[in-house]
Amino acid sequence: MIAHGNYDEQYERFHGAAHSAWSRSVTTTERRVAFVGCGYTDLTKKAELSEIELGLAACRMAAEDAGIDTADLDGINIQVHHYPPPDTAVIVAGLGMREVKWEEDGGIGVTSLARAAGALDAGVCDYIVVCKIMNTIAPVGTPLIDPDTGRVGGPGQFEVPYGLGYTMQRIGLTSRRWMDRYGITDEQVGWLCAMQRDGAQLNARSNFKDTLTVDDYLASRWIADPVRLLDCDYPVNGAYAYVLTRDDLARDLRHPPIHLLSWAIAPYDLLDHHFISEDLGQGPTPWLREMYADAAVRPDELDVWLLYDGFSFFALQWMESLGVVPRGESGNYCEGGTRIRFDGEHPVNPHGGQLSEGRMHGAGHVLEAIQQLRGTAGDRQAAKADHAVITTAFANTGSAAILGRKD
Amino acid sequence: MTMSEPSVSTRAGQERLKERGVIPLPEPDEVSAPYWDAAQNEELHLQHCSACDTIRHPPSPDCPECGDSSSDWRRVSGKGTVYSFIVDHRLMVPGFDEPYVVAQINPVEATRDTVRIVANIKGCDTSEVFIGMPVEVYFEVRAGMTIPQFKQDTES
């Protein structure tokens, strides 16, 4: 019988054969690709504008910021998280795009950026706008219970009858295991939330601007212990957009280009969507290693960490997956807060993340990376911002990218 | 369902299910039927790969370890350990009225910790559940159907 907390024994029993099937995916471009413009709407609790209006506003602002006419955009990616999506053709018409040489909707965070970069590198088009639109009115993922019989088929038949049906519960299961495995405490997670809020107070887009202490965090109500209300990101309506182009076209635009140096996308869903692997050893998780090689950047050269925080736990888990802290050490790194605060040695989500701005599925992390690398993040500007890392979704099944400001 | 009922894909729809006292139950299918049939006889049976000799759960047409599609069913001891758990306080799933444990259980016969049976740990305070806790199966009749559940194994 396995003793409580005896993870070495469990490791031997279950993970004698390490994963070997890491597949290679494209992680960079031949010709360098850069962010040249960004735009955003307010993020509101209630839907005040239609999705089309939100998307148009963000895309127009991004083009304006880049210093190009929206008519010159010739590639577009629209991301929503529900069906039916808004009609991209209406957004194309609203922007007055003369030609659409590349259009591919969907993706989230880094995955959409990677597709856009690939299209630019291949010479398919010259100026791509990538736009995330969020609409909280859309249905959420709920258990598919037959309303007449109460029956649940499919994978849910083994879960819903036991009261398991929501993402926040699944995050609780993986987070409990990870916290127990490495001795990470509720207080350490609370430090991350508190320090992100310190930065959020200096971010006009943040929905939360009051001070948050670790005690406030600990007092917030349980959702699914170990998940508290303040561990969950905040649902909003709004849109964020970026314009990307190749370096050769970027030089004469309004802002210095912020380069998308490399990225990594988890090669496949690792065993199951909610599995936090315990057998990955030290250093970056294997599928992330090539990202560093392709960018010629080491983990210790990442100045600003924009870590996906749909749930607070993810941000800590990403530190370990990226190899910017030793595995199991993210809690200790956050404790006390001074290292991760916006004015610390490695600011984590100095804009406040999705816990403060709102749930933009990683788009807010991209926007903050661009602003930090440009040096335009105002009072929350990091002391050193040559390289930033952005991550999207789960730490073992998501995606990550390295951005840099230097030529 | 009348036209005025909100869709179950919305929070309002789920609230309505709660109000109506709907208790979710498994809908067995071709692959999963042996699991639920055995439960009706108060036995725990798990799918076993004939090719690589591993236990798997939940049931699937092909083995997640080796990809082979030949399988049989084995009666197992019903003993296991808690892999992870939550204590749910939000009560969004219909049929649950007070904080409850959802645990993932590794059966002792499994060779990988990805074999996890979801169950509620009952018979002890929610604060007494821990990762690595020895548990054993018992059977609960829920809305007329017998389903596996787990409780602390005091003999281990």
CB-based contact B134 A173, cutoff 8 Å? no
3-class DSSP state of A170: helix
Query: Which residues in A lie closer than 8 A to residue B119 (C-beta atoms)?
Result: 162
Q: Is the pLDDT of residue A170 over 50?
A: yes
**A315: region left, alpha or beta (phi > 0 left; psi from -120 to 50 alpha):** alpha
Q: Under 8 Å CB-to-CB from A219, ≥6 apart: which residues? A: none
A265-A267-A268 Cα angle (round to 5) = 120
For residues B49 and A125, what is the distance between their CA atoms, to the nearest angstrom? Answer: 50
The alpha-carbon gap from A299 to the nearest alpha carbon of chain B, in Å, equals: 30
Whether residue B40 lies inside any domain: the answer is yes
For residue A71, count other CB atoms closer than 10 A to its CB.
12
For residues A40 and A357, what is the distance between their CA atoms, to the nearest angstrom? Answer: 12
Cβ-contact B36, B28 below 8 angstroms: yes
**A252: region left, alpha or beta (phi > 0 left; psi from -120 to 50 alpha):** alpha
Name the residue among A14, A160, A162 with its Cβ closest to that of B112.
A14
**Burial of A22 by CB count in 10 Å (0-12 exposed, 13-18 middle, 19+ buried)?**
middle
The CA-to-CA distance between both ends of chain A, in Å, stands at: 57
pLDDT for the residue numbered A20: 34
The alpha-carbon gap from B74 to the nearest alpha carbon of chain A, in Å, equals: 18
CB-based contact A139 B10, cutoff 8 Å? yes
Q: Is the pLDDT of residue B145 over 90?
A: yes
Q: Average pLDDT, stretch B134-155?
A: 95
Which tokens hold the place of A51? 């999705």
Give the number of A-B residue pairs with CB atoms closer than 8 Å. 160
Whether residue B15 lies inside any domain: the answer is no
CB-based contact A224 B28, cutoff 8 Å? no
**B68: region left, alpha or beta (phi > 0 left; psi from -120 to 50 alpha):** beta
For residues A372 and A370, what is the distance between their CA atoms, to the nearest angstrom? Answer: 6
Whether residue B114 lies inside any domain: the answer is yes
Domain range spanning residue B119? Answer: 29-152
Whether residue B9 lies inside any domain: the answer is no
Which tokens hold the place of A397? 């099944």
- The CA-atom distances, in angstroms, between A18 and each of A9, A243, A282, B88 are 15, 41, 13, 33
Lowest mean pLDDT among A262-271, A347-356, A383-392, B9-18: A262-271
Cβ-contact A125, A75 below 8 angstroms: yes
Cβ-contact B119, B86 below 8 angstroms: no
Q: Is the pLDDT of residue A262 over 50?
A: yes
Q: Provide the pLDDT confidence category of residue A7 given band limits of 50, 70 and 90.
A: very low
Query: Which of these, A196, A235, A190, A184, lies nearest to A216 by C-alpha position?
Result: A190
Residue B134: asked if its preceding bond is cis (omega within 30°), the reply is no
HSE-up of residue A157 (Cα within 13 Å, Cβ side)? 21
Query: Which residues in A lie closer than 8 A to residue B118 (C-beta atoms)?
Result: 158-159, 162, 164
Q: Is the pLDDT of residue A11 over 50?
A: no
Which tokens hold the place of A123? 């010479």
- For every residue of A37-58, DSSP letters joined together read EEEE---BSS--S-HHHHHHHH
User: Where is pLDDT greater, at B155 or A4?
Assistant: B155
Cβ-contact A229, A33 below 8 angstroms: no
3-class DSSP state of A79: strand
pLDDT for the residue numbered A1: 31
Q: Average pLDDT, stretch A71-99?
A: 93
Query: Which residues in A lie closer than 8 A to residue B14 (C-beta atoms)?
Result: 142-143, 145
Query: Which of these, A401, A368, A210, A395, lies nearest to A295 by C-alpha position?
Result: A401
CB-based contact A1 B108, cutoff 8 Å? yes
3-class DSSP state of A288: helix
CB-based contact A162 B10, cutoff 8 Å? no
Tokens 């001891």 found at = B77
Query: Which residues in B lie closer than 8 A to residue A150 (C-beta atoms)?
Result: 17, 22-25, 94-95, 143
Least CA distance to A140: which residue of chain B? Answer: B10
Q: What is the dihedral of CA B107, B111, B114, B120, to 10 degrees?
A: 0
Per the document, the length of chain A is 407
Least CA distance to B110: which residue of chain A? Answer: A14
CB-based contact A4 B131, cutoff 8 Å? yes
CB-based contact A14 B134, cutoff 8 Å? no
In DSSP terms, which residues pair with A369 in a beta bridge? none
Q: What is the pLDDT of residues A312-344, one digit of tens each?
A: 999 999 999 999 999 999 999 999 999 999 999
Cβ-contact A103, A119 below 8 angstroms: no
CB-based contact A225 B5, cutoff 8 Å? no
Name the residue among A5, A162, A177 with its Cβ closest to that of B84.
A177
- The CA-atom distances, in angstroms, between A169 and each of A82, A165, A190, B20, B41 are 21, 7, 19, 23, 30
- The CA-atom distances, in angstroms, between A287 and each of A325, A370, A400 are 17, 24, 10
Least CA distance to A276: which residue of chain B? Answer: B114
Query: Which residues in B lie closer than 8 A to residue A159 (C-beta atoms)?
Result: 118
CB-based contact A145 B94, cutoff 8 Å? yes
Q: Tell me the pTM.
A: 0.92
Q: Average pLDDT, stretch A87-95?
A: 97
ipTM: 0.96
Whether residue B3 lies inside any domain: the answer is no
Q: What is the pLDDT of residues A208-232, one digit of tens each?
A: 999 999 999 999 999 999 999 999 9
Query: Which residues in B lie closer than 8 A to residue A235 (C-beta atoms)?
Result: none
Query: Which of these, A52, A50, A55, A27, lies nearest to A40 by C-alpha position?
Result: A55
Mutation choice for B interface testing from A137, A152, A158 by most B CBs within 10 A: A158
CB-based contact A158 B13, cutoff 8 Å? no
Q: What are phi and psi of B60, to 5 degrees?
A: -150, 155
Name the residue among A153, A166, A173 with its Cβ closest to that of B104.
A173
Query: Which residues in A lie closer than 8 A to residue B147 (C-beta atoms)?
Result: 161
For residues A351 and A305, what is the distance between their CA atoms, to the nearest angstrom? Answer: 11
Whether residue B8 lies inside any domain: the answer is no
Whether residue B20 lies inside any domain: the answer is no
CB-based contact A2 B132, cutoff 8 Å? yes
CB-based contact A225 B7, cutoff 8 Å? no
Query: Which residues in A lie closer than 8 A to residue B64 (C-beta atoms)?
Result: 271
Whether residue B12 lies inside any domain: the answer is no
3-class DSSP state of B11: helix
For residues B87 and A327, what is the distance between their CA atoms, to the nearest angstrom? Answer: 26
Name the residue among A6, A148, A176 with its Cβ closest to that of B85.
A176
Query: Which residues in A lie closer than 8 A to residue B84 (C-beta atoms)?
Result: 173-174, 176-177, 180
The alpha-carbon gap from A150 to the nearest alpha carbon of chain B, in Å, equals: 5
Cβ-contact B44, B37 below 8 angstroms: no
The mean predicted confidence, pLDDT, of chain A is 89
- Parallel, antiparallel, or unpaired for β B121-122 and A258-265? unpaired
pLDDT for the residue numbered A268: 57
Query: Number of folded domains in chain B?
Result: 1
User: Where is pLDDT greater, at A406 or B131?
Assistant: B131
